[in-house]
């Protein structure tokens, strides 16, 4: 049985959020090579469809199968277009669970990121029993800072994660 059939999906007025699966590899290949992803999240060296499939198998599915949540592909209900991703991540070096989001450039500034992240924030507590969420972002990524604050997160401190030299802003919210 595939992860999309065994794990919880969510919906909002305009969006479906379903666990990312191997079938999303071409979409992730495109998303992970957008200028903002490369600038603000980092180059994951996803250069081919096979790389994207391997990333999903190695990074996304193990957490999904272990915890029941991970990365979600965000799909617009009106036309089934994949807009971006939003997820709850158990990352090395980040205390607790981290919320993250990224959207294709054509779908930014339309409220989709807030809609998807707000749904996941709520479901983190009600479905997965998470008591606290964190968010990390670069100081240069003002859009992410604004979104985290709009979601109710507050800046906690500057931090670093293993194998990354960047100073990151750590945000927090109690659920």
Query: What pLDDT digit, counting tens, does each position of 59-97 carry?
Result: 999 999 999 999 999 999 999 999 999 999 998 777 799
What's the whole-number average pLDDT of the chain?
94
- What are the strands of the beta sheet with 154-159, ordered from one edge? 10-11, 15-19, 71-76, 82-89, 97-103, 132-138, 168-174, 154-159
How is domain 3-174 classified at the CATH fold level? Aminopeptidase (3.40.630)
Residue of 69, 83, 74, 85 whose CA lies nearest to 16:
74
Q: What is the pLDDT of residues 17-72, one digit of tens each?
A: 999 999 999 999 999 999 999 999 989 999 999 999 999 999 999 999 999 999 99
DSSP conformation class of 92: T
The C-alpha atoms of residue 57 and residue 51 are separated, in whole angstroms, by 10
The C-alpha atoms of residue 100 and residue 36 are separated, in whole angstroms, by 14
């Amino acid at each position: 049985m595939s992860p999309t059939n065994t794990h919880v999906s969510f919906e909002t007025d305009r969006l479906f959020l379903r666990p990312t699966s191997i079938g999303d590899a071409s979409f992730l290949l495109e998303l992970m090579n957008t200028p903002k992803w490369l600038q603000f999240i980092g180059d994951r060296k996803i250069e081919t469809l096979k790389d994207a499939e391997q990333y999903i198998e190695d990074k996304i599915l193990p957490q999904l199968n272990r915890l029941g949540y991970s990365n979600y592909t965000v799909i617009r209900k009106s036309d089934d277009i994949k807009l971006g991703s939003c997820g709850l991540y158990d990352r090395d070096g980040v205390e607790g669970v981290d919320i993250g989001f990224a959207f294709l450039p054509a779908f930014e500034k339309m409220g989709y990121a807030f809609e998807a992240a707000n749904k996941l924030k709520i479901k983190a507590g009600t479905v997965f029993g998470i008591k606290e969420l964190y968010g990390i972002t670069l100081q240069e990524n003002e859009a992410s800072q604004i979104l985290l604050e709009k979601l109710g997160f507050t800046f906690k401190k500057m931090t670093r994660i293993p194998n990354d030299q960047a100073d990151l802003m750590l945000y927090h919210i109690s659920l």
